[in-house]
Structure 1
């Protein structure tokens, strides 16, 4: 490391930092992602930190990672507030730690253990973000940048989303080793990495090509209200001064007609899709907004429609209540063909800083039906892999996004289908709706802003698959954390190779 610092020109080092940071901006899980950028930026930034002093590298990498987090907030149009900014700082700190650990430990370890430091630390950092932050995999996961590479994505059925982050970071360490020491010994490490990546891609391709998927299918339709009635409802609610409690307490004549117009359209669309052959219909998150005093009537109308059409009907309900602290609920109800409510599920992960709802208990409901085992979460819940580890055949995800984030958010949800071995149907008001099978194939997709009213129809497999990840959970991620801890102890117990030489 000392020799590298002396022989690396300062202009080159700063060029690496700038180029790596710019590339990282396009690998944050947003609408402007470039998949290749996720493989390039760690190579450049790791070279920057390895050719400088450890703490200097840390102090420069922290603002670089913070810039990426802020850029993601900007391109996703999340809006800036204290919670978002504090979260960005925390995420940047966690994402900087792998670079610091690599810089401190690589010079103290033998070459082969040293190659594991950065990839294990990156995968471990991604896992820690899902455990410690309220963002799940919404930000901080390199896997989401590889959404379109189905052979590569199949490895998540074993490792969870952390396996691809490991592979990307392993490439960075391998390239940097060859960069610093272009010898046969370093090249052997490149061959090992190439063989591992080839095995992952070949195995994933084989899973897509040869694993039989001859299960029966069921026609599922997702329906969202049209833009006109939704805009009228938003305008009626917007005329009420104050918060959710004020909407709940407002005279029914001020808000109920607009709310009822949305529900009436959803019921009409449901009838149309049931008549066309749909056996399951899903509405978006808070597809129906209602004052608490009218909630029973709204649900009763949906129950009657499910009974008449003999379908399973999943409805999203946003309730405005006068009682605190949340003054409302974000619920999803599954209604059976006989009109019975089979479950009422409350969102387990309200979006921090923008949704005041009290979180639900996080128990994902599952029910046996003639079309397989059906489960349900709501929108942002699907960004938390541990919550999504459910033995199901079909996962319903009523959602509500916005123009700038709807597409990327739906792509992130597709990863859960591959990990969990189930089909996933995400009906998204003001976003992109899609249905995926358990390999990540897109079965159907519609864009709220180009289709009015938005209807998504797909023939969805009724039998999923048990994945390794479903059986062992986050064992790979925990193994990465254990590897980092063990290598840290070993590294600190040994003098650096440079010190030993001299």
Structure 2
């Protein structure tokens, strides 16, 4: 890389860094994402790294990644705390490794090997984030920036979410090589990439166009409590100083009327939607907030309503308890038309730095019904692909977000539908609710902040499909990690070439 350093002015190098960092701010999986920015920033930062010394370039790119992570926290209104900041720095360090490996190995490997080092490392780092961090794909996945590009996203049914990140990084590697050494050989490598990307997009388009349709559907209603009773409950909880422990210990008379009003609203809406033809009704995460002594009565009322209306009813419960250390539970209860409780599920991945619930065991419940195999996770659980690899036809995802993050979070969940080959129903009490089919198409959607009636209705296919990803799991990601290890060893034993 000596020639590149000599021929690239210092001002040009740092212009690459600034422009690359600016582009990366809009490719972090937040509400201000610009899809093309995810294809631009790796090119600029890769070029910056290759025209400077390895460790100083890595330090600057680490700072750029930290800036992008902090921007994501800001635009998502997460709130800064020690856990969030430490997590952002850790993730940024992992995201910097592909740039460092590329810089160290590009002069030691054959051209075709060096071109594949960066994309394999990017896909591998995204996979490691889901394995090693408590953030899943909430942050650090390039794939989520491409929401809406359904032909491209179909590749996730084979590779998982890591395939799109690989393709984006491969594009950057090909462009950076041609930028560095314009030649017929470099152009030929670009032609191979274009052929692969074209095959992926055409294959995804064919999957969308020729997928079997016209099968059986079931009417599903997602219902959230009305704005008036929701705001009254927020006000009642706000009058109790402290957290969940203090709420649990507060006089029941101060909270029970507002909690009961929300529950009554949900039960009445459930009855209305059942009369309109819904066979499955889904409440949002913590749709009913209840004191622990009142939980059995809340479940009993829901069972009675399911029996009366003849529907499958999933209720979300936020339970306030005086028992340390969690002081409560975040759970769902799925009830059959006969009033039987078919499962009780506790959230497996509480949000780090925000939720103190004791995690559930992570066993995703599945039950056979006349409307297919129905499964369930809660909100943030859907950011963990391994947890979501379930043989199901319909996945229910009750959720509770907020204005700045609800839409982005629901869009991320669409990837799980494509990977798993099932329809996904995400009922979000203070965000964007949506239903996706097994190819990521939106069947219905409603935004809490733009509509007065908090109800979403969709006719959902009752039969999913078996995907390659469902069968082989994270094989592609593991292959990328193995490739990175092999290329690193090979690069270490080969002498560096002056370029």
Match of 1:240 in 2: 240
| Cα distance in structure 1, aligned partners of 2:165 and 2:62 | 19
1:425-479 residue CA offsets vs partner (Å, 9 max, x unmatched): 0000110000000000000000001112311100000000000000000000000
Match of 2:113 in 1: 113
C-alpha displacement at 1:497, in angstroms? 1.8
| Cα distance in structure 2, aligned partners of 1:252 and 1:308 | 29
| Cα distance in structure 2, aligned partners of 1:251 and 1:337 | 35
1:246-294 residue CA offsets vs partner (Å, 9 max, x unmatched): 2112221110000000000001110110000000000000000000000
- TM-score, with normalisation over the residues of structure 2? 0.99
| Cα distance in structure 1, aligned partners of 2:343 and 2:185 | 60
Match of 1:140 in 2: 140
| Cα distance in structure 2, aligned partners of 1:290 and 1:490 | 60
C-alpha displacement at 1:403, in angstroms? 0.1
C-alpha displacement at 1:240, in angstroms? 1.5
| Cα distance in structure 2, aligned partners of 1:274 and 1:37 | 45
Match of 1:258 in 2: 258
1:290-301 to structure 2, matched below 5 A, reads 290-301=290-301
| Cα distance in structure 1, aligned partners of 2:327 and 2:80 | 24
**Residue 361 of structure 1 pairs with residue 361 of structure 2:** yes
Match of 1:19 in 2: 19
**Residue 196 of structure 1 pairs with residue 192 of structure 2:** no
Match of 2:185 in 1: 185
Match of 1:349 in 2: 349
| Cα distance in structure 1, aligned partners of 2:162 and 2:279 | 36
**Residue 459 of structure 1 pairs with residue 465 of structure 2:** no
1:68-113 residue CA offsets vs partner (Å, 9 max, x unmatched): 0000000000000000000010011000000000000010000011
Match of 1:160 in 2: 160
| Cα distance in structure 1, aligned partners of 2:241 and 2:153 | 47
1:205-232 residue CA offsets vs partner (Å, 9 max, x unmatched): 0000012133210000000011211111
Match of 1:323 in 2: 323
* Structure 1 ranges of 4+ moved more than 2 A: none
Specify every segment of 5 or more residues in structure 1 that has no aligned partner in the other structure, as ranges: none
| Cα distance in structure 1, aligned partners of 2:53 and 2:131 | 31
C-alpha displacement at 1:243, in angstroms? 2.2
1:2-50 residue CA offsets vs partner (Å, 9 max, x unmatched): 1111111111111100000000000000000000000000000000001
Match of 2:40 in 1: 40
Moved more, 461-470 or 449-458: 449-458
Matched position secondary structure for 2:148? coil
Matched position secondary structure for 1:120? helix
Match of 1:309 in 2: 309
| Cα distance in structure 1, aligned partners of 2:246 and 2:68 | 38
Matched position secondary structure for 1:497? coil
1:378-457 to structure 2, matched below 5 A, reads 378-457=378-457
| Cα distance in structure 2, aligned partners of 1:345 and 1:23 | 40
C-alpha displacement at 1:414, in angstroms? 0.4
Match of 1:58 in 2: 58
- TM-score, with normalisation over the residues of structure 1? 0.99
Matched position secondary structure for 1:439? coil
Match of 1:93 in 2: 93
Match of 1:281 in 2: 281
| Cα distance in structure 2, aligned partners of 1:12 and 1:274 | 64
| Cα distance in structure 2, aligned partners of 1:147 and 1:299 | 37
**CA RMSD for the aligned pairs?**
0.7
| Cα distance in structure 2, aligned partners of 1:388 and 1:247 | 33
C-alpha displacement at 1:387, in angstroms? 0.2
Moved more, 393-402 or 249-258: 249-258
Matched position secondary structure for 2:281? strand
| Cα distance in structure 2, aligned partners of 1:245 and 1:406 | 27
C-alpha displacement at 1:239, in angstroms? 1.2
| Cα distance in structure 1, aligned partners of 2:176 and 2:295 | 60
Give the length in aligned residue pairs.
499
Matched position secondary structure for 2:285? coil
Moved more, 239-248 or 15-24: 239-248
| Cα distance in structure 2, aligned partners of 1:373 and 1:152 | 28
